Amino acid sequence: MKRTATHLADGRELFYFDRRDDADRGAADLRDLPPRPAASELRYDPLTEEWIAVAGHRQGRTFLPPASECPLCPSGPGNLTEVPSPDYDVVVFENRFPSFSAQPGEYPQPGGLSEVRPGIGRCEVVCFTSDHDSSFSRLSSEQVELVMEAWIDRTAELSSLPGVEQVFCFENRGSEIGITLAHPHGQIYAYPYVTPRTRLNLAAAGRYRDRTGGDLFADVLASEREAGVRVVASNEHWTAFVPAAARWPVEVHLYPHRRVPDLIGLEAAERAAFGPLYTDVLRRLDGLFDMPMPYIAAWHQAPVNTGRDLAYAHLELFSIRRAPNKLKYLAGSESAMGAFVNDVLPEETAHLLRSIVTS
């Protein structure tokens, strides 16, 4: 793998990841870009003990442009994009409209019981392929390995930045999910705090260890593999299963068989084995209703400075689609109370996904 670092016209960093050592990534960004926005505000909610990012500059971000104006495609005549090179394998760059950044700003206190601090951190975009009309499910195993190398590289570097407490790699796919760009891509957030979901998971894992002496995530995986009824697919190093208490109509978790706190800890064989299983699961999702499945794919990794002895890196994949013409909306119970009601039996979802023939 060849890694090439460069900068965009407004100073943002960009990284090319190539399979070929002779790849030429010397093209410069010739655009005239405005100054980068200041970091967002973080406002503290004393009722939930959570930090809420307020990033008003994101209202102006690019929204579903035509393919001929896609900012994630390689640059070409008449369309200078976020990627100066006329082609690429995998590319990562700082988001032009970030939720978190290191740019200084002014942060007046709002009064009351809340407080404000800078939204220091970083947000990056990961382009999985230069092919605008492709998808992650259609990537070759070699291309998925390259994407994973990019995730690992960025996880390591972002974890070392001052103030970063957690690194989150994810993909949003489909207009139903709320994507603003159709090109196959994901994002990486370097948060200045440990996210609420991670705090809940690690607290549960800590209580489980105190009570049983065991590893909660490892025991969940072992129990699902033993039960078998919710396993969708597996290989020597990974298992994909529908969790017994799935929140979403379609939900699949992918665990490595060996506990590692983050993607950095995966060995070469484990990295290589991920792609064939994951793309198989994605094709099963697309085959479930015979249409592209909107989804969120979320890597759960250990925080930078806490809970690393409890965390177990894994991927959670889920969709809001519950039928060909029906979506699962987060209505009163889910949105107001955080109390999920799933309309689909997890065992039935697993059975249907297993039954789909993938090519």
DSSP 11-47: S-EEEEEES-TT----------PPPPPPPPEEEEETT
pLDDT per residue as tens digits for the range 334-351 = 999 999 999 999 999 999
49 and 101 assigned to the same domain: yes
In a domain, 151, yes or no: yes
Active site residue 185: yes
> Is residue 40 scored above 90 in pLDDT?
yes
Residue 190 sits at the vertex; the CA angle it makes with 202 and 141, to the nearest 5 degrees, is 85
Q: For 110, what's the count of Cα atoms within 13 Å in the CB-facing half-sphere?
A: 12
**Residue type (1 letter), 102:** A
Q: Kindly state whether residue 199 falls inside one of the protein's structural domains.
A: no
Average pLDDT of the residues in 132-158: 98
Q: Is residue 347 part of a domain?
A: yes
Do 162 and 275 lie in one domain? The reply is: no
Mean pLDDT of 233-262: 98
pLDDT confidence bin for 61, thresholds 50/70/90: confident
Host H or E run for residue 319: strand 314-319
Residues 187 and 210 in one domain: no
d(CA 20, CA 23): 6
What's the number of domains the chain is made of? 2
pTM given for the model: 0.97
pLDDT value of position 59: 83
The catalytic position among 7, 57, 183, 185 is 185
Whether 150 and 286 map to the same domain: the answer is no
What CATH number is given to the structural domain containing 20? 3.30.428.10
Q: How far apart are the first and last CA of the chain?
A: 28
Domain boundaries, position 53: 2-193
Query: Does 182 share its domain with 327?
Result: no
| Same domain for 258 and 179 | no
- Give domain status of residue 296, yes or no: yes
Structural domain contains residue 40? yes
Are 210 and 146 within one domain?
no
Asked if 126 contacts 184 with a C-beta cutoff of 8 angstroms, the reply is no
Task: Say if residue 75 is in the same domain as residue 100.
Answer: yes
d(CA 104, CA 234): 47
164 and 271 share one domain: no
Of the residues 147, 167, 193, the one at which a domain ends = 193
